[in-house]
C-alpha cells in the first residue's frame, strides 16, 4: 500500500496539471486582492450604505480578514472545480495512457490501487487548501493589515480581529472537508466515465447541482439537514454570530461519511468492472 | 400661549412616539393650524363682508397677543441652572464602553476614548472598528443651548419612581437643527434624566441618562434610541444559504435601535 501511495504521490508531483492548479488558485487570489485594493472601499460603502444614515464609522473594515473571507468564498465553485479536474485526472489519465492495464498486470489488488488514489486525492486537496490559506494569510495581512471583520449572514455580523482570525482558520479547516468530498466524488465519477473531458463536465454538473440544491428544500426537514448539498455550506456557519459548534461537528462528520460512502461505491464499481 | 400649549398637547396625543414619526411634521399640527382659518369658524349671523373683517381683526388681536407673550417668555429657571452647571465643564475625557442594540446588527462590546472641549464636537477614538450614532452623543447638551430658545413647562411626570419636571425646548433660530426637545429634568439634582429630540435632518432620537453620584454633572450611562431603516444588502454580499423572508423584511422597514454607552475614567476640567 505504501508503494502504491508513493507511486501516486510521484505522479502528482511530476504531472504539470498539479502546478497549473496551484497557479490557477494563485491567480484567483491575486484577482481578489487587486479587486479588493481598488474597489474594496466602494464595496463596503455599498454594504454599509443604510447604516451611514445613522452612524459614523471609526476604523477600517477593509483589512486582511475581509480579504480572507472573500478568498474563502472561492470555495463555493472555483476551487472545487479545479480540484475535481486535477483529482479525476489521477484515474482518467491512466485510462487515456493505457497505464491502468499495465498496473493491473502486476500483483496489485484492484481495491488497494483505487484506495491509494482516493487517499492521494484527499491529501492533495488538503495540500491545496493549506497552500491557499497560507498564501492568503501572508499576503492579506502584509498588504491590508488586520482589523475587524464584517459578514452578512441574515444579520450584519461584526467580529473583532482575533475572533475573526480564529473563525477563518476554522472555516478553512471545515471547508477542506467539503473539498475532500468533491475530490472523492470526482474520482468516483472518473471510475464510471473513464474519459477525462466527460468526467470534467460531469464534475462541473455535480458542482452546479450541489450549489443549486443548497437553496432548495424539497425533503422533510429532518432529512433535509442530512442531505449532502446542505452540508457543503458548513464552513459558512462559522460566521454566524453564535456558532452552533455541535451542528458544525455533526455536519462535518456527515460530510466525511458521505466521502467514505462515495469512495466505497467507487471501489465497489472498480472492483466489479473490467479494465479496458 | 395657553392656546399654543393645548395644540402641542393634542399633537402629542394624536401622533405616535417621536421615533415612529421619524422627526417629520405631525399631520395633526398642520390640520389644527389650518382649521382656525376656514370660513366655517366665522359667526353664522354676520354678513359676509363684516364676517371677513371681524375674522381679520380677531387674527390681528391674537397675533399681537401671541407676539407679546413670546417676547415675555422666560427660559425655565431650572433649565438655566442646569445650563450653568453644564457650562462649567471646560473639557473632559472618558473611556466609553459601547453596546449596540440593533435588531439586524450583531456587534461585540466595543471600547473607545471620548474627548470633549467646550464649543467643539465630541471626538471619539478607538483601536477597533466602532459605530457611533450620528445623533445622541451630545450628552453635554451643547447642541440644545447653542442657539436661542424658548421653553414651555409641561408639568411633572413620574419615571422609575422619580418625579421629573417635563419641559419643551423650542429653538427660535432657524439655524438650529433641532425642532423640538422634550426634557425630563431632576430639578433637585439639577440635571437632565431623559430627553426626546426632534431634528430637521436626522429624524428623532431619545436619550436616557444615569448618574453615578448625586453631585455628578455628567452621566456615567447614556442610552440613545433612534429609528433605523432596515438593511438593504445587495444580493452579492449575502451568504450563500441566506434565506430571504419577504414578509419579515417588509415588517422591518423601520426599527428602533439603541446604543448603550457606559462612561468610566472621567477626567473633567471645570471652569
B126-154 average pLDDT score: 80
Q: Which domain covers residue B159, as residue numbers?
A: 77-270
Q: Are residues B119 and B141 in the same domain?
A: yes
Measured between CA atoms, the residue of chain A closest to residue B128 is A59
Sign of CA dihedral B187, B188, B189, B194: negative
Is it the case that residue B2 has pLDDT exceeding 60? Answer: no
**A110: pLDDT confidence band, cut at 50, 70 and 90?**
confident
pLDDT digits (tens, 9 = 90+) for B34-84: 323 333 443 444 444 444 555 555 555 554 444 444 444 567 888 888 888
Q: Are residues B133 and B213 in the same domain?
A: yes
**The C-alpha cell of A51 is what?**
447604516
Distance from CA of A1 to the nearest CA of B (A): 40
- To which H or E segment does residue B267 belong? strand B254-270
Final residue belonging to a domain, choices B72, B88, B117: B72
pLDDT at residue A37, as a whole number: 77
Q: Are residues B58 and B93 in the same domain?
A: no
**Residue among A62, A73, A158 with most chain B CBs within 10 A, to mutate:** A158
So what's the ipTM on this one? 0.77
Backbone angles phi, psi at B192, to 5 degrees: -90, 130
Strand partners, B102: B105
Query: Inter-chain contact A46–B234, Cβ cutoff 8 Å?
Result: yes
Backbone angles phi, psi at B138, to 5 degrees: -85, 65
Backbone angles phi, psi at B238, to 5 degrees: -80, 145
A221 at B interface, C-beta within 8 A:
no
pLDDT at residue A13, as a whole number: 85
Is it the case that residue B186 has pLDDT exceeding 60? Answer: yes
pLDDT at residue A106, as a whole number: 80
Final residue belonging to a domain, choices B17, B42, B72: B72
Is it the case that residue A258 has pLDDT exceeding 90? Answer: yes
The listed range with the strongest mean pLDDT (A42-56, A88-102, A135-149, B25-39) is A135-149
The total number of structural domains in chain B stands at: 2
pLDDT at residue A255, as a whole number: 94
Q: Which residues of A touch B125 (CB under 8 A)?
A: 58
pLDDT at residue B26, as a whole number: 36
Q: Are residues B49 and B107 in the same domain?
A: no
Q: In the sheet where B221-229 sits, what is the strand order? A: B123-125, B110-117, B89-101, B254-270, B221-229, B204-210, B191-199, B178-186, B162-171, B149-159
Distance CA A158, CA A160 (A): 7
Average pLDDT, chain B: 71
pLDDT digits (tens, 9 = 90+) for A8-39: 888 888 888 888 888 988 888 888 888 877 77
B165 or A55: which carries more pLDDT confidence?
Answer: B165
Is it the case that residue B247 has pLDDT exceeding 70? Answer: no
B115-132 average pLDDT score: 85
Q: Are residues B160 and B129 in the same domain?
A: yes
pLDDT at residue B55, as a whole number: 55
Q: Which residues of B touch A32 (CB under 8 A)?
A: none
Measured between CA atoms, the residue of chain A closest to residue B243 is A154
pLDDT at residue B246, as a whole number: 56
Q: How many Å from the N-terminal Cα to the C-terminal Cα in chain B?
A: 37
Q: Are residues B108 and B138 in the same domain?
A: yes
Question: What percent of chain A stands above pLDDT 90?
Answer: 39
pLDDT at residue A54, as a whole number: 75
pLDDT digits (tens, 9 = 90+) for B198-211: 888 878 888 999 99
The listed range with the strongest mean pLDDT (A211-215, B164-168, B187-191) is B164-168
pLDDT at residue A46, as a whole number: 73
Q: Are residues B154 and B189 in the same domain?
A: yes
A93 at B interface, C-beta within 8 A:
no
pLDDT at residue B139, as a whole number: 63
Written as one string, the DSSP assignment of B223-237 is EEEEEEEPP---GGG
CATH code of residue B242:
2.50.20
**CB-closest option in A50, A58, A163 to B231:** A50
Is it the case that residue B30 has pLDDT exceeding 80? Answer: no
pTM of the model: 0.75
The listed range with the strongest mean pLDDT (A68-72, B11-15, B141-145) is A68-72
pLDDT digits (tens, 9 = 90+) for A145-187: 888 998 888 888 999 999 999 999 999 999 999 999 999 999 9
A48 or A203: which carries more pLDDT confidence?
Answer: A203
Q: Are residues B17 and B124 in the same domain?
A: no
Is it the case that residue A117 has pLDDT exceeding 80? Answer: yes
Q: Which residues of A touch B232 (CB under 8 A)?
A: 49-50
Written as one string, the DSSP assignment of A169-200 is HHHHHHHHHHHHHHHHHHHHHHHHH-SHHHHH
The domain locations on chain A are 2-272
B214-235 average pLDDT score: 79
The listed range with the strongest mean pLDDT (A42-56, A231-245, B114-128, B246-260) is A231-245
B129 at A interface, C-beta within 8 A:
yes
Is it the case that residue A232 has pLDDT exceeding 80? Answer: yes
Amino acid at each position: 500500500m505504501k508503494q502504491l501511495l508513493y507511486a501516486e504521490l510521484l505522479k502528482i508531483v511530476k504531472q504539470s496539471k498539479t502546478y497549473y492548479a496551484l497557479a490557477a488558485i494563485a491567480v484567483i487570489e491575486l484577482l481578489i486582492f487587486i479587486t479588493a485594493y481598488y474597489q474594496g472601499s466602494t464595496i463596503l460603502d455599498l454594504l454599509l450604505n443604510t447604516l451611514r444614515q445613522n452612524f459614523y464609522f471609526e476604523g477600517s473594515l477593509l483589512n486582511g480578514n475581509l480579504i480572507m473571507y472573500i478568498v474563502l468564498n472561492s470555495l463555493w465553485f472555483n476551487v472545487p472545480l479545479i480540484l475535481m479536474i486535477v483529482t479525476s485526472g489521477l484515474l482518467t489519465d491512466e485510462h487515456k495512457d493505457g497505464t491502468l492495464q499495465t498496473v493491473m498486470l502486476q500483483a496489485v489488488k484492484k481495491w488497494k490501487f483505487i484506495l491509494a488514489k482516493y487517499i492521494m486525492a484527499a491529501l492533495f486537496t488538503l495540500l491545496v487548501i493549506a497552500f491557499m490559506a497560507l498564501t492568503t494569510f501572508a499576503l492579506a495581512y502584509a498588504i491590508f493589515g488586520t482589523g475587524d471583520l464584517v459578514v452578512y449572514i441574515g444579520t450584519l455580523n461584526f467580529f473583532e480581529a482575533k475572533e475573526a482570525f480564529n473563525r477563518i482558520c476554522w472555516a478553512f479547516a471545515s471547508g477542506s472537508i467539503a473539498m475532500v468530498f468533491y475530490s472523492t466524488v470526482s474520482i468516483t465519477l472518473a471510475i464510471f466515465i473513464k474519459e477525462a473531458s466527460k468526467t470534467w463536465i460531469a464534475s462541473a454538473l455535480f458542482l452546479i447541482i450541489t450549489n443549486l440544491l443548497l437553496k432548495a428544500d424539497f425533503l422533510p426537514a429532518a432529512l433535509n439537514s442530512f442531505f449532502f448539498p446542505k452540508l457543503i455550506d458548513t464552513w459558512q456557519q462559522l460566521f454566524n454570530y453564535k456558532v452552533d459548534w455541535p451542528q458544525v461537528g455533526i455536519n462535518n462528520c456527515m460530510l466525511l461519511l458521505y466521502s467514505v460512502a462515495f469512495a466505497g461505491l467507487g471501489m465497489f464499481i472498480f472492483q466489479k468492472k473490467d479494465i479496458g | 400661549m395657553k392656546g399654543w400649549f393645548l395644540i402641542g398637547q393634542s399633537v402629542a396625543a394624536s401622533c405616535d412616539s417621536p421615533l415612529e414619526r421619524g422627526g417629520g411634521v405631525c399631520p395633526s399640527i398642520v390640520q389644527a393650524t389650518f382649521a382656525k382659518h376656514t370660513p366655517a369658524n366665522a359667526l353664522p349671523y354676520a354678513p359676509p363682508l363684516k364676517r371677513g373683517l371681524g375674522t381679520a381683526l380677531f387674527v390681528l388681536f391674537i397675533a399681537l397677543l401671541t407676539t407679546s407673550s413670546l417676547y415675555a417668555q422666560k427660559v425655565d429657571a431650572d433649565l438655566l441652572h442646569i445650563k450653568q452647571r453644564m457650562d462649567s465643564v471646560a473639557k473632559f475625557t472618558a473611556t466609553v464602553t459601547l453596546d449596540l442594540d440593533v435588531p439586524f446588527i450583531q456587534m461585540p462590546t466595543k471600547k473607545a476614548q471620548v474627548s470633549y472641549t467646550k464649543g467643539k464636537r465630541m471626538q471619539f477614538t478607538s483601536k477597533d472598528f466602532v459605530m457611533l450614532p450620528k445623533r445622541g452623543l451630545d450628552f453635554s447638551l451643547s447642541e440644545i443651548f447653542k442657539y436661542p430658545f424658548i421653553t414651555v413647562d409641561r408639568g411633572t411626570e413620574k419615571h422609575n419612581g422619580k418625579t421629573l419636571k417635563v419641559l419643551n425646548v423650542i429653538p427660535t433660530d432657524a439655524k438650529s437643527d433641532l425642532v423640538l426637545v422634550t426634557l425630563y429634568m431632576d430639578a433637585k439634582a439639577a440635571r437632565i434624566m431623559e430627553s426626546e429630540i426632534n431634528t430637521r435632518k436626522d429624524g428623532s432620537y431619545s436619550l436616557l441618562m444615569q448618574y453615578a453620584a448625586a453631585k455628578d454633572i455628567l452621566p456615567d450611562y447614556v442610552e440613545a434610541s433612534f429609528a433605523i431603516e432596515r438593511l438593504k444588502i445587495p444580493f452579492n454580499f449575502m451568504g450563500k444559504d441566506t434565506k430571504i423572508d419577504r414578509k419579515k423584511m417588509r415588517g422591518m422597514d423601520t426599527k428602533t435601535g439603541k446604543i448603550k454607552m457606559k462612561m468610566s475614567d472621567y477626567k473633567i476640567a471645570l471652569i
